[in-house]
């Protein structure tokens, strides 16, 4: 049954995912030119008893008229199924099914956003990104559809949540590499 995108965004995912414990690293050459994130203001809390993440949505600016329009767009929850997130491709399919397919109807107009898989993203700066990424979202009009709005790269268990939650991930190592990539 269709509900609004806004309603679906407030729900926790209901489809179970098997935790395999496998991890992925990151060390992109293009990201080394960016400074790591060393001071963080964290707006989430992890409840270890219930194994859930709670986000403080008050950190976002107030919704505008176009946000209200998108939040009221009709969408459908994902089909009931079980997941085993073993490979990065499994995570990509999970993301498309559980997140992207639910949210993209809100971007079917005002403006229209396109999703592309495995593209080479166009970087607005002088340094071009040579690697393909897992997903790019861009405006659909012919003038700007090469300029990304958001880029996604799927990883397995890469975030050391306790370091990010403390607001201090350090300036060296895997977490710093991830922060450089996120900044880029």
pLDDT at 71 over 60: yes
| pLDDT (average), residues 58-70 | 79
* pLDDT at position 77: 92
Q: Hey, how many other C-beta atoms are within 10 angstroms of the C-beta on 63?
A: 12
Count Cα neighbours of 78 within 13 Å in the Cβ-side half-sphere: 23
Q: What angle do CA 26, 31, 32 make, to 5 degrees?
A: 100
Q: Which of 9-13, 43-47, 101-105, 109-113 has the lowest mean pLDDT?
A: 43-47
More confident residue, 130 or 166: 166
* pLDDT at position 127: 62
For residue 34, what are the domain limits?
3-183
Task: Count helices and strands (H / E) in the chain.
Answer: 6, 9
* pLDDT at position 138: 84
Separation CA 63–CA 69 (nearest Å): 10
pLDDT at 3 over 90: yes
* pLDDT at position 142: 56
Number of domains within the chain: 1
| pLDDT (average), residues 21-44 | 82
* pLDDT at position 145: 54
* pLDDT at position 82: 92
* pLDDT at position 146: 62
- Report pLDDT digits (tens) over 112-149: 888 888 776 665 556 666 677 788 888 877 565 567 78
User: Percentage of the chain with pLDDT > 90?
Assistant: 10
pLDDT at 65 over 80: yes
- Closest-CA residue to 9 (of 102, 83, 84, 90): 102
């Amino acid at each position: 049954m269709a509900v609004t995108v806004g309603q679906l965004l407030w729900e926790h995912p209901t489809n179970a995912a098997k935790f395999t414990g496998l991890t992925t690293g990151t060390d992109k050459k293009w990201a080394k030119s960016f400074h790591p994130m060393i001071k963080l203001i964290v707006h989430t809390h992890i409840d270890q008893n219930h194994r859930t993440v709670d986000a403080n949505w008050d950190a976002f600016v107030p919704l505008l008229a176009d946000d209200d329009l998108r939040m009221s767009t009709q969408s459908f929850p994902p089909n009931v199924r079980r997941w085993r997130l073993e490979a990065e491709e499994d995570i990509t399919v999970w993301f498309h099914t559980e997140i992207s397919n639910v949210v993209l109807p809100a971007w079917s107009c005002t403006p229209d956003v396109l999703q592309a898989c495995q593209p080479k993203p166009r970087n607005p700066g002088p340094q071009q990104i040579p690697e393909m990424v897992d997903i790019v979202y861009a405006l659909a009009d012919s003038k700007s559809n090469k300029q990304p709005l958001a880029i996604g790269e799927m990883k397995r268990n890469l975030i050391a949540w306790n370091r990010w939650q403390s607001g201090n991930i350090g300036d060296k190592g895997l977490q710093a590499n991830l922060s450089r990539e996120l900044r880029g």
